[in-house]
Amino acid sequence: MKTPSERRAALIRLVESKTVTRVTPPLLLPAAPYLDLAGEEFGRGLLLTTANDGRDYCLRPDFTLPIAVSYLDEGLLDVPAAYTYLGTIFRQSENGPEEFDQAGLELLGQPDAGQALDQVLTFARWALAIYGVTAPSIRLGGVGLFEAFLAAADISPAWQARIRARFGHPEAMQRLVERLSRPPEKTGGAAPDGRETVIEIVTDAMLSSGLSLVGSREPEEIADRYLEKQTLAAERIPDRMVRLLREYLEVSDTAPRALDRIASLTASYGIDIEEPLLEVRNHAAALAALSPKAEVIFDASFSPRLDYYTGIVFEMTGEDGAILASGGEYDRLLDRLGAPQPVTASGCALWIDRLEAEAASR
């Protein structure tokens, strides 16, 4: 068994190999990109400070975002890049401020996205092996597969967007599916016609109730939300598609069996998603070959809670269930940061403190 210092040295060799560039983003970063991309839920975990000019900054909560920003700022579009990192991140938890060691790999602008993902999976397995973790529990998810499933199903674009927004949020998704499974609600009277009419009705209602039009939700926002609900109600998802959605999200098994189940299930409804299914099959097979002692599970409902993930995602956990490594494909991140053209991206993060604890328990 290696000592902690020997494991650290081996990890440094991995992140400083000749095929990658080790980078160290600043400790203090602008907070706005994190709040814009990850929203209030992630924002609660930031350690924030405000500069004299009124702008908010945070102690580095991850490495992926600043690496992606730097890639764009340096004008590296169309240039394949491979970055590694090893350093401290800072998060706010229920117990107060905490800091953790993380290592990882980010592959940006690679010409072969599938090969890049396999490199990320290999990097994660090599890192876990340094700590003696040769048979982790591995969970795969298919963000791209789920989006292809929604696009091929008899579901309107408005409902597709709403369902996709809940992917990775099991409780919210369950509530939505249960509501869709109930008979449609009957409304008394006809809905107001036209956005301007709705805005005027909302404004009158707010004023007559003594509500201020300043410092609260604006009538336009309420009206748009109301009209969205009316549109969704008018475009109700067919009952058979609601049943299919529920059955799809319930699939969780070893990767071959789970993907076979999805193929059979969708085919029975006349839906063809063989191409994205084949992509997941290939990566699952490569991961199984890379980790012959591990059981690779495909969970159809699994997704990170960040909506910039686009393809295959994964988690590798230890004996106590703690996540040791996680990552996947996140092509939408660069687009959200303002890239003028599509940029492939995949990567993973490793929790070094948890890996050390795992090694110590063996």
**Numbered residues of the known binding site for L-histidine:** 62-64, 91, 102, 106, 308-309
Q: Is 360 exposed, middle or buried (0-12, 13-18, 19+ CB in 10 A)?
A: exposed
- Residue 77 has phi, psi (to 5 degrees) of -55, 140
Q: Is 248:178 a contact under the CB 8 Å cutoff?
A: no
**If you ran DSSP here, which 8-state letter would residue 68 be given?**
H
Residue numbers in the known binding site are 62-64, 91, 102, 106, 308-309
Give the Cα-Cα-Cα angle 202, 203, 209 (nearest 5 degrees): 90
Q: Is 216 exposed, middle or buried (0-12, 13-18, 19+ CB in 10 A)?
A: exposed
Q: Is 302 exposed, middle or buried (0-12, 13-18, 19+ CB in 10 A)?
A: buried
Structure-block tokens of residue 201: 């009705």
Q: How far is CA 165 from CA 26, 147, 196, 243, 341, in A?
A: 31, 11, 28, 19, 23
Give the Cα-Cα-Cα angle 264, 308, 324 (nearest 5 degrees): 80
